[in-house]
Every structure is written in C-alpha cells, then in structure tokens.
C-alpha cells in the first residue's frame, strides 16, 4: 500500500512523539462509517475497508485516510488486510462498522439472506477483532467500538437476520470487555437509531412519517452525531468506560 506516513510505532507498541495511532474502520466508504473515518482522521492514521468498486472510493483518500478493498465474508482476506497494516504499526483502534441489510419476514427469508447478514454484520467483527487483538494487547493500549443498532435491542419487523446479528454484537462487546478489562483495552457498542444515510433516503414517505412520529425528538439522527460518540469512546478520556451500549436514537 502507498501513502503510509513515516515515524509510526513498531508492532510491539514502541512509539515516538510524532506518531499517530492507527485506527481501522470496517465499512468506511459511506454513511456512518465514512463519518467515523472523517472524524478519526483528525487525530489518527485511519484505514478503512470497503467492498464497492465505485470510483468514489478514490476521492475519499488523503494523507491520513487509506482505503483497503476487502471482502468481509472472507476470513483469509481479512487476515491478509490486517497483516498488511500491522507491517506499519499496531492497530490501536478498531471500529467494527461494516453491515448490510436483507430484510424479509422469517418465513420467506432464504438461507443465503440469513447467512449473508450474519456473516458481514457479526462474523466479520469477530474476524477483524481476533486479527487485531494480540498486537493490541502487546501494545498495551486499545479501543474497540462495535456499531450495533437499536434493532438489536428492540427487534424489527422483517429483520430477524439483522436483529440477530446486531444483538450478537452487543453480547460480543460485553464478553470481550470482560476479557480485556485488565489489558488497558476498552470495548463498547453503539446502537444507532434512525440515522440520515443513503439507506434511510430510500424509505417511502408514508413509512418515514410513521417513524418520525415514534421518535421522541421527531427527527432522524446525523452520521456526525454517531461519529462524535465514537471519537469520545476511543479517546483517553473514556478509559474507565467499557462493556457498555450507547443508544443514539433520539429517545427511542
């Protein structure tokens, strides 16, 4: 890969004053993920994964932002991506954000639709986390934030696959937080509600009105509001917060 700044830390966590910590954001090419990359790049050297072949990817790149194409279905591909980044420094911050939806009622859902959503939304978080974990532990500091969903807490009609995956992320976060509590590594989850993204723009007007009536604040959230919470959770100021789930849902 090109564009790696010089003067970064080595694999075992040794550092210099000019070093920026490395952050990895999965699914960072659009929506909430893109906002997280933007915010974190103000302080960290950020790598983000994407699946799309869109030419827009090349526009979302800078001195501190590096796109990496990766298939979140593929365990071996994820190992290779992480190993390549680790050649240039410890991944101190991991944001498991990659996710898809394939909504359908349970009785009509195909095995492929179930497997795809579980694979990308849940399994990939385990794959990325495990690949980053040993060097993060050896480095003596780390922040892991898993992007869940309000649907993982409350369920959603026609979203049994998505709800199962996002609820799984919450259980994963809480268990991992216990395992890493003495390692100077925190693990938290964020459960966004309805956020203004390309996905929500596709909601029919009638359904949109109904959703807004259910939200106490009577508006959708913004990607920046989610990203700002991520920025806090990866900061030194959040060092005593772990194993928690934070709703960004306007009061839902």
- Chain CA centroid to CA 209, Å: 28
Helices (H), the chain: 31-40, 56-59, 75-86, 111-118, 124-139, 151-154, 160-180, 205-214, 223-233
- Per the annotation, the verdict on 162 as an active-site residue is yes
- Choose the catalytic residue: 47, 128, 162, 194: 162
176-211 b/e (C-beta count within 10 Å ≥ 16 → b): bbeebeeeebbbbbbbbbbbbbeeeeeeeeeeeeee
Q: CA-to-CA distance for 168 and 62, rounded, in angstroms? A: 34
Active-site amino acid positions: 162
């Amino acid at each position: 890969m090109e564009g790696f700044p010089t003067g970064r830390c080595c694999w075992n966590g040794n550092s210099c004053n000019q070093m920026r910590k490395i952050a990895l954001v999965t699914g960072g090419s659009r929506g909430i993920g893109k906002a997280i990359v933007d915010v974190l790049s103000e302080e960290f050297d950020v790598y983000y994964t994407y699946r799309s072949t869109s030419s827009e990817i090349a526009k979302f790149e800078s001195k501190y932002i590096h796109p990496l194409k990766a298939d979140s279905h593929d365990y071996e591909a994820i190992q290779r991506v992480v190993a390549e980044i680790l050649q240039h420094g410890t991944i101190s911050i991991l944001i498991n954000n990659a996710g898809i939806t394939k909504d359908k009622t349970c009785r009509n859902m195909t095995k492929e639709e179930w497997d795809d959503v579980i694979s990308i939304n849940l399994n990939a978080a385990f794959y990325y986390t495990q690949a980053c974990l040993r060097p993060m532990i050896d480095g003596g500091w780390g922040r892991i934030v898993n992007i869940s969903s309000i649907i993982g807490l409350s369920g959603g009609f026609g979203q049994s696959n998505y709800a199962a995956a996002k609820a799984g992320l919450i259980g994963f976060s809480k268990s991992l937080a216990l395992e890493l509590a003495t390692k100077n590594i925190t693990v938290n989850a964020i459960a966004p509600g309805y956020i203004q993204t390309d996905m929500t723009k596709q909601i029919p007007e009638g359904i949109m009105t109904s959703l807004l009536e259910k939200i106490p604040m009577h508006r959708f959230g913004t990607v920046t509001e989610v990203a700002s919470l991520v920025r806090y959770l990866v900061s030194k100021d959040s060092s005593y917060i772990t194993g928690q789930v934070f709703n960004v849902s306007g009061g839902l």
